[in-house]
Amino acid sequence: MSEPVIRVPVPLGPRSYDVFVGPGALRHLPELVPPGASRAAVVTQAGIPVAVEPGVEHKVFVVPDGERAKSMATVDELCRGFAQWGLSRRDVVIAVGGGVVTDLAGFTAAVYYRGIAVVHVATTLLAQVDAAIGGKTGVNLPEGKNLVGAFWQPAGVVCDVDTLATLPEREWRSGNGEMAKYHFLGGEEIERSELREKVALCVAIKSAVVAADEHEGASGRRATLNYGHTLGHALETAGGYGLRHGEAVAIGLMFAARLACRLGRVGAGRVQDHERVVSSYGLPTALPAGVDAAELLALMRRDKKAAGGLTFVLDGPAGIEVVDGVDEGAVVDLLRAMGAR
């Protein structure tokens, strides 16, 4: 007998919703379709072997694979396809896939008719533990990742762990990168849990942060969810998205820990903690060969968190927090010490 589905609430007042986690969670999809919706636009990719039955008339819209699908051109194609089919503002978009699909479909739902409902069916580990939760949507520009986007909360999220059975090894590792991040955001028990509980614990941590700071307000709490992402996003962009997101985040976590140590915020033991956790997930801890420090610095200056010079999420005496105005020289020196040219 399979384990029961865990329901994790995301408490946001009138925009609250539930995340269903566990084997067989897909059966809850019809109850997440908003009342009054008569059509569902299902956005997915060709290689995703997950069929959905939302309980209303639906049509599948296939988008390209990879981060390059997250573009304004793809948003334009989807919006035109929705309009030609007759999708109305009372209908719903259902994203079926990983973080690329949930980011892209969520943003398209946010701008089509100035906003229609979206439901996420997360089919990768990364999407289940992070990307599908919390309402951040976006697409990429040549100048950087997720530079165009919107906060648009879903009507609900399905994290059916059965859909992970065919996940390629690198996609598992990518999800593990985000899971390693949550270890340092209060999720130390994640590494001792089974899969269903791992996903639910990550969702619960993110839910609590989003409920406290939905739109990255002055408290900076939501920005802590970007731990490891400042360098991580720069590495993805510089490498043409050859690195998976979670792999880049893992390297970003190690860089952030070493930077915090150089700045006197943490000791060497905390850096070793990061090394142990990141390595335990089979993730990279070193920079890819041949990366250019100047290019990475330019990309990090464009990071969405940047408010006063370089901005990083760093460990410290008060825990993980946003730090503005980080010295560029210290960043470049560390990049070069880690092998950047």
Chunked mean pLDDT (size 10), the chain, 341 residues: 84 96 97 96 95 97 94 98 98 97 98 98 97 96 91 98 93 95 96 95 97 84 94 92 92 98 97 97 93 95 76 95 93 95 88
pLDDT for the residue numbered 220: 80
Residues 293 and 272: their CA atoms lie apart, in Å, by 24
List the domain boundaries for the chain.
6-169, 216-337
Instruction: Identify any residues that bridge with 39 across adjacent strands, giving them in sequence order.
Output: 57
pLDDT for the residue numbered 1: 43
Catalytic residues: 114, 136, 178, 206, 216, 222, 226, 229, 233, 245
- Assign 3-class secondary structure to 219-277: CCCHHHHHCCHHHHHHHHHHCCCCCCHHHHHHHHHHHHHHHHHHCCCCCHHHHHHHHHH
pLDDT for the residue numbered 303: 80
Residues 270 and 258: their CA atoms lie apart, in Å, by 9
Contact 97, 127 (CB under 8 A): yes
pLDDT for the residue numbered 240: 85
pLDDT for the residue numbered 59: 98
Q: How far apart are the first and last CA of the chain?
A: 55
- Please name which of 32, 35, 208 lies closest in space to residue 122, comparing C-alpha atoms: 32
Q: Residue 3 CB: number of other CB atoms within 10 A?
A: 14
Tell me the residue length of the chain.
341
pLDDT for the residue numbered 307: 66
216-337 topology per CATH: Dehydroquinate synthase-like, alpha domain (1.20.1090)
- When the candidates are 3.90.700.10, 3.40.50.1970, 3.30.70.20, 3.40.50.2020, the CATH number that belongs to 6-169 is 3.40.50.1970
pTM recorded for the entire structure: 0.92
Residues 188 and 199: their CA atoms lie apart, in Å, by 13
